[in-house]
């Protein structure tokens, strides 16, 4: 290594990323860890970032390397990283949501909710569309020693495979035999969502909802009990009423998050039902006040997952209880892959291999 690395970087919003040769990051603080990227997932959040849609809410300096779903190997550690926790060569998954470590959220283990939380590739730090990434502390790495997992299996678990896990954990006490859960949007998150719904909800029936037959086919392979094509079903409400014997859905995990998906969700929700919004496609939705009161609806937001939840999903992967649906791409093809993601042509998660 000549001290230079290849990184795909945003130079200008709405423009293709440029593949640059830049200096390899250098450890300057004792807790830091340099990670050799083995794989980095592509997320719709990357599209929002690259298009500049988020430039006011997440101000960043350009050029910037995106990529927040990262796994790889420890290359170098700072002086204070305990050897029994982490050493060069270890396989690691990168936890996003780097909190301050001190506030009430961080102290309760919810660092992704910290007011000062930073994400690789989404805030001031460079991300994983690169050969190497510098992590500010070993506290943000989950060490996966002796695992049979490959970086490309671990990378999507740090976001796509984590976010629906937390969302379903929030509401699983409302589910069980005779109950129904819907996963709305079978993209990167939804295919994991269907699997967690089968594992965590004690016999509930799982409804997968999407506008693409390919994605519904994937949901079926992941164990969904009913497939609902939102494009071709002209009467969603009647369809769900028939399939559930009039009970409707007790929980809906909205992996899309638009005005339309919120409206659809409310229309097929059971009394006392819950909607958990994890998708970020829309900006606002109207809540029908009377229906919400009369039917005691619950509406939750759910952000990412915490460090221990990342450990749990990695545990599920190691035990063979969940499977990934990934398509691998070369870092050099990053702009083409971004186009595929925009056009909805990637089934499951697209993963870049530097």
- d(CA 204, CA 180) in angstroms, rounded, equals 5
Please, which residue, 122 or 269, has the CB nearer to Zn ion?
A: 122
Please, which residue, 159 or 254, has the CB nearer to Zn ion?
A: 159
In the bound complex, what is the minimum distance in angstroms from residue 107's beta carbon to Zn ion? 8
Cβ contact 46:102 at 8 Å: no
In the bound complex, what is the minimum distance in angstroms from residue 137's beta carbon to Zn ion? 13
In the bound complex, what is the minimum distance in angstroms from residue 102's beta carbon to Zn ion? 6
Give buried/exposed letters for 1-39 (b at 16+ CB in 10 A, else e): eeeebbbbbbeeeeeebeeeebebbebeeebbbbbbbbb
In the bound complex, what is the minimum distance in angstroms from residue 155's beta carbon to Zn ion? 11
Please, which residue, 117 or 141, has the CB nearer to Zn ion?
A: 117
Sheet holding 269-277, edge to edge: 226-229, 205-210, 180-184, 249-254, 269-277, 298-301
- d(CA 269, CA 247) in angstroms, rounded, equals 9
Please, which residue, 249 or 253, has the CB nearer to Zn ion?
A: 253
Task: For 287, list phi and psi in degrees, rounded to 5.
Answer: -100, 120
Binding stretches for Zn ion (CB under 5 A):
43, 45, 99-100, 103, 106, 114, 159
Residue 15 makes CB contacts below 8 A (sequence gap 6+) with none
In the bound complex, what is the minimum distance in angstroms from residue 186's beta carbon to Zn ion? 16
Please, which residue, 32 or 159, has the CB nearer to Zn ion?
A: 159
In the bound complex, what is the minimum distance in angstroms from residue 67's beta carbon to Zn ion? 10
Please, which residue, 77 or 142, has the CB nearer to Zn ion?
A: 142
- d(CA 175, CA 203) in angstroms, rounded, equals 8
Question: Hey, which residues does 274 pair with through a beta bridge?
Answer: 251, 298
- d(CA 90, CA 72) in angstroms, rounded, equals 8
């Amino acid at each position: 290594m000549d001290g230079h690395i290849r990184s795909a970087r945003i130079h200008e919003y709405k423009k293709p990323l440029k593949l640059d040769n830049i200096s390899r990051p250098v450890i300057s603080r004792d807790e830091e860890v340099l990670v050799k990227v083995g794989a980095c997932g592509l997320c719709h959040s990357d599209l929002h970032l690259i298009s500049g849609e988020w430039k006011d809410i997440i101000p960043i300096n350009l050029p910037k390397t995106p990529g927040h779903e990262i796994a790889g190997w420890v290359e170098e550690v700072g002086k204070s990283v305990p050897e029994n926790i982490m050493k060069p060569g270890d396989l690691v998954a990168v936890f996003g949501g780097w909190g301050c470590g001190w506030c009430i959220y961080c102290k309760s283990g919810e660092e992704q909710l910290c007011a000062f939380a930073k994400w690789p590739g989404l805030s001031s730090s460079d991300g994983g569309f690169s050969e190497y990434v510098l992590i500010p502390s070993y506290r943000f790495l989950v060490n996966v020693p002796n695992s049979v997992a490959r970086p490309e299996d671990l990378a999507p678990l740090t976001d796509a495979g984590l976010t629906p896990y937390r969302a379903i954990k929030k509401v699983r006490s409302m589910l069980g035999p005779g109950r129904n859960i819907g996963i709305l949007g079978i993209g990167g998150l939804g295919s994991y969502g269907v699997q967690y719904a089968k594992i965590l909800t004690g016999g509930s029936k799982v409804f997968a909802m999407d506008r693409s037959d390919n994605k519904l086919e994937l949901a079926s392979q992941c164990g969904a009990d009913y497939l609902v094509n939102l494009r071709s079903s002209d009467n969603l409400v009647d369809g769900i009423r028939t399939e559930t014997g009039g009970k409707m859905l007790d929980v809906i995990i909205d992996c899309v998050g638009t005005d339309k998906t919120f409206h659809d969700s409310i229309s097929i929700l059971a009394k006392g039902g819950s909607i958990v919004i994890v998708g970020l496609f829309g900006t606002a939705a109207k809540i029908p006040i009377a229906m919400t009161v009369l039917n005691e609806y619950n509406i939750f937001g759910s952000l990412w997952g915490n460090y221990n939840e990342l450990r749990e999903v990695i545990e599920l992967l190691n035990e063979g209880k969940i499977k990934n649906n990934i398509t691998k791409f070369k870092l050099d093809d990053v702009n083409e892959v971004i186009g595929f993601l925009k056009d909805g042509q990637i089934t499951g998660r697209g993963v870049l291999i530097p």
